[in-house]
Amino acid sequence: MNSKDYSPTNGAEFVSLKQFTAEAAIVPLVSHGRKAYVLFRGQSIGFVDMLGEDGLRQVHRSAVNNALYCNEEEDVPHWLHRPLPSTTAVSDYPEMEGLFPRAYARVMKPAQGVLEL
């Protein structure tokens, strides 16, 4: 797989929160610093501090956040390269426009791209 296509969250950043919560499973932990870990499409994709839908939202938001972060600047180290999240996934978090304006615009307004910012 090309490093530009790598998704450390097994594609969580490409689906809506609704689809993610339908497919993901949260597994409570005992005697651990975190409340649970989340499985998505057969892969553990992260630890969370909350159970239920709040925990699933935490890890989904993190996947979308990290994908935008890795696409915000042009000079990201090669090992951080990953694809942009989907419009569907980003639509669940409009507040991320303020955090990652360039990457957000590339997802939500692809015809405008980076040059119009």
pLDDT of 6 > 70? The answer is no
Cα end-to-end span (Å), the chain: 32
Which CA distances in Å does 109 have to 54, 68, 106, 113, 115? 29, 14, 6, 7, 11
Q: Among 98, 75, 72, 76, which Cα is nearest to 85's? A: 72
**Position 102, amino acid:** R
Whole-model pTM: value is: 0.85
* Average pLDDT along the chain: 89
How many residues are there in the chain? 117
| Euclidean distance between CA atoms 26 and 77, whole angstroms | 31
What is the pLDDT at residue 65? 97
φ/ψ of 59, rounded to 5, equals -75, -35
Give residue-wise pLDDT tens across range 80-112: 888 999 999 999 999 999 999 999 999 998 765
